[in-house]
Amino acid sequence: MSIHLHREIDNLKKKILLMGAEAEESLGKAVHALTTRDSELARQVIASDEDMDHLEVEIEEECLKILALYQPVAIDLRYVIAVLKINNDLERIGDLAVNIAERAMYLSSLAPIDLPLDFSGMSDKTQLMVKRSLDALVNMDTTLARQVRASDDEIDEINRHMYRVFEDYIRQHPERVSEALHLVSVSRHMERIADQATNVAEDVIYMVEGEIVRHQPEDFSSK
């Protein structure tokens, strides 16, 4: 690998990690805004989305420049292609965090719903998936990437549980259906964020091993 290509890929790695950090921070703030009913914090999350959009475009342009100027091969080529896809996944996480913040703003002015809902716990597990997927990217760690992939089932189950809780609540309190549906959306958005983290992990496996595992059962992709 030429010294110039090496420098460009190192720079790309820094930018995609910055994108990941921004996505993690937005998600954490959005959920905190929801649980503390902090509309101002929710506004900050919404306002920060423009910065993530600009960074996504910048990273995409960097990837295309590397492909055009250096014509990388083997793992370098897979790395650039994976970053292109991961970049989109992280931008989507930012968008979903904004959606949660918008729900938080709406709900902050209404009386809280008294239900045993652990949005912070669900968010912690989801954020851990995002962090681990990025750690797998930094360290080219396919074992960690496969752990992230396996974690997705737990978030899916939490989302299904929350849906059942809200179904019962809406039957008993039809006058609060609007608030309940906004909270259902929050659970669904976090489940989607976990899906995006899983996509990142699968792209890491592709990058390192050249294997596409997206449509394989987890045990098929474990080594």
DSSP classification of residue 68: H
Helix, strand, coil percentages in the chain from 3-state DSSP, rounded to 5: 85, 0, 15
What angle, rounded to 10 degrees, do the helices at 74-108 and 119-139 form?
Answer: 160
Q: How many CB atoms lie within 10 A of CB 198?
A: 24
Handedness of CA 115, 118, 123, 129 (dihedral sign): negative
Look at the chain and report how many structural domains it folds into: 1
The candidate with the shortest Cα–Cα distance to 79, out of 94, 89, 67, is 67
pLDDT mean values, one per 10 residues, the chain (223 residues): 87 93 92 93 96 97 96 91 94 96 94 82 90 89 96 94 91 92 94 96 92 73 42
Give the per-residue pLDDT at 117: 79
The structure's pTM equals 0.90
Give the per-residue pLDDT at 1: 53
- Per the structure, the complete domain to which residue 22 belongs is given by 3-221
Task: Give Cα 37 to chain centroid, integer Å.
Answer: 22
CA-only gyration radius of the chain, Å: 19
CATH of the domain at 145: 1.20.58.220
Give the per-residue pLDDT at 223: 42
